[in-house]
Structure 1
């Protein structure tokens, strides 16, 4: 009799767990199906969006197993007239939708088809002349996953070229086909500044910096003919997240046109670490990293980030600003701040306790203020006054 009771209790317990699990999955699916709208534009312009595929015909791609020419997908966000109207493009159209997590992780994430952007598909370009900003994603990521930042910058009068590094991004789309990453472009040992990992990081920083300069060249060519003719300023700035931040600093080092660079929580790699940067730059860091040269309150410096950043800062002759964002973790510098990410996935992908839209507002305002200063000669107070607006972000300014 006792054995039957025990079995009955076990079966009831298992049934209860299954019911709770089914309820939880359905709840996550319901939250994931809700519409998400990217933040309102803070600049005076509406934003247009278009895309290109460009081939660097004179450069054999070292990451391509067949050693063909380097091919890149580039999305452009640009200023449009304030009264521009038209359809909003999909957040990740077509095969780009595969950037979303697959099952089962995808059950705990916003459906990308439910994300609404602020951009207008193929809108006319606003009157005026605009600096160019090349935006580089973090390792494994693609340009669309930084749409909130790109739209914000473009609304302030910049042409933003978001490149997706082929074979390093988990997915890019070229010629109507999805192209995944490979071990050459997204190596498993890219984890710090020790031995082979450091050499690999330095090598890829050079390749990504070359990508960024090539994209800047192509965008500037659009300013001579076609849609952007006569509307582009000669200044170029480089902005990137994570590994893209490191590559942005390196691209600025080698590009004479560079007005400045921004590193969003990226451990630095490349020759720029040793030579420093003679141009202005800014580093925004999370509270659990040491990428600014000062470890945040929740940082555990296991990859030598602080020493590398200190070396870069000491060697640099250009003015530089460092910002540590309390409550932010590494992924708060991406659109993941805006998606619904259910537990336990949220705790695993690097999102901090900061209010998501507050994190993006801090990032967007500091990046825009820096760009205004370096490309338009706005006073440095456009940067330093943000200390009052965002007291939880600790700013270190040039002395």
Structure 2
């Protein structure tokens, strides 16, 4: 019970207020029906029930469309909304083959490419077999207009996910970006080592996770950058003519965020990176991020003193992991060209297409996944337009955000200490 009482006041009202409102509505309506059937109900009771009904309606009313849509999603499980931009989107599944050296033939890098297609281009669904780079020569891109070339973005998916785990890739293509995504690299535990990549069972487990995370995210970043090298070398036709390969952006979801951040540290071509609710490891966690950087993150509570003092080593280790991430980002967000946005009432899956699966159904009652997708794509577009197209964007500096439920953390240094997220029991003086 204490777990559910220990909520921030704003979270109590923003996340659970509609549930309280629904309960009040039902009780008040039931009371009014009983009073209507009875001739002896005092007028004062009827008046109180009517006031309660009005209060419940005020609390539940704003959430009614979202709740109705959540039930509709449960019934029909619609896919993510189509790309929001004005351009048609083409997709290609490609095998980017490095040139062999010394008689060896390296394995190709499997990747997906989303691109703004010409208005009259014939678009075919990408099949199960990848095409080679030469097949892209006949691909017709849209006219990039005065900008001359389309900027290119790299994308890294979540841990163990495929390159197409996030339809924001296609959305960015519909706004005039070419997006190149690779699959997450498989990880096999060494003999005698823990079978889980992420181990927060103890301080030693956390330190081992930091080492694995650094090694694997840097390795995956190098593969993504190698894919960029190959595509740059083999591009012909419209891809060679209309795509800018020398200044690119990189965004990633979950573990892919560490891949994106470390790629920006490794390669001068990557001029800006976005973290979609992910952990970072290695240089990205150790002060290495100096380029433009943005993080969008969910509503997971920050660790408190009780977590650090817990007798459970797993609780202490996870609190330490959260604290390391939050403090480094709290420092980053106060420096130029670094942005953080807290999307309230969201969960981790809201930052990729898992948000639309029935396995995520409970979160639909608290945040509409289509709305969250639109918000994250507006921030992605604003960020990359600012740093790849050099177009000033007021959305990045707007405080308050034009979106209800989005809190910019720049200028709120106490956010990193958890003081922006006050538990409800503490707010009312009971803790």
TM-score higher than 0.5: yes
2:197 aligned with 1:189, yes or no?
A: yes
2:87 maps to which residue? 45
2:345 aligned with 1:327, yes or no?
A: yes
1:166 alignment partner, SS class: coil
Assess, with a 3 A threshold, how the Cα gap between structure 1 residues 352 and 274 changes in structure 2: closer, same or farther. Answer: farther
Match of 2:259 among 237, 244, 247: 247
| Offset, 1:335 | 1.0
Which moved further from structure 2: 309-318 or 245-254? 309-318
| Offset, 1:288 | 1.1
Say if 1:77 and 1:160, in contact at 8 Å, map to a contact too. yes
TM-score normalised per structure 1: 0.67
Q: 1:1-399 alignment to 2 at 5 Å?
A: 36-56=78-98, 69=106, 71-81=108-118, 83-84=119-120, 86=122, 89=125, 94=128, 124-128=140-144, 129-146=149-166, 148-168=167-187, 182-183=188-189, 188-191=196-199, 194-223=206-235, 225-233=236-244, 234-288=246-300, 302=319, 304-311=321-328, 314=331, 319-339=337-357, 341=358, 346=361, 353-385=366-398, 387-397=400-410
Assess, with a 3 A threshold, how the Cα gap between structure 1 residues 45 and 385 changes in structure 2: closer, same or farther. Answer: farther
Q: Answer 1 or 2: which has greater strand percent.
A: 1
Say if 2:199 and 2:208, in contact at 8 Å, map to a contact too. no
* CA offset digits 1:184-242 (Å, max 9, x no partner): 6x96132458221211111111101111211222333355x234022112211110001
| Offset, 1:38 | 3.5
Q: Distance in 2 between matches of 1:380 and 1:338?
A: 29
2:300 alignment partner, SS class: coil
Q: Distance in 1 between matches of 2:107 and 2:241?
A: 28
Assess, with a 3 A threshold, how the Cα gap between structure 1 residues 161 and 75 changes in structure 2: closer, same or farther. Answer: same
1:134 alignment partner, SS class: strand
Bigger Cα Rg: 2
| Offset, 1:53 | 1.3
Q: Distance in 2 between matches of 1:214 and 1:321?
A: 28
| Offset, 1:51 | 1.6
Say if 1:286 and 1:324, in contact at 8 Å, map to a contact too. yes
Say if 1:246 and 1:269, in contact at 8 Å, map to a contact too. yes
TM-score normalised per structure 2: 0.63
| Offset, 1:351 | 7.4
Q: Answer 1 or 2: which has greater helix percent.
A: 2
Say if 2:112 and 2:163, in contact at 8 Å, map to a contact too. yes
Gaps of 5+ in 1: 1-30, 60-66, 97-121, 169-181, 292-299
Q: Distance in 1 between matches of 2:330 and 2:399?
A: 22
* CA offset digits 1:333-380 (Å, max 9, x no partner): 1112223x15xx745xx8783101011111111111100001011114
Say if 1:43 and 1:156, in contact at 8 Å, map to a contact too. yes
1:363 alignment partner, SS class: helix
1:13 maps to which residue? none
Q: CA RMSD in A?
A: 3.4
1:179 maps to which residue? none
| Offset, 1:44 | 2.3
Q: Distance in 2 between matches of 1:68 and 1:203?
A: 25
Q: Distance in 2 between matches of 1:42 and 1:386?
A: 24
1:216 alignment partner, SS class: helix
Assess, with a 3 A threshold, how the Cα gap between structure 1 residues 142 and 393 changes in structure 2: closer, same or farther. Answer: same
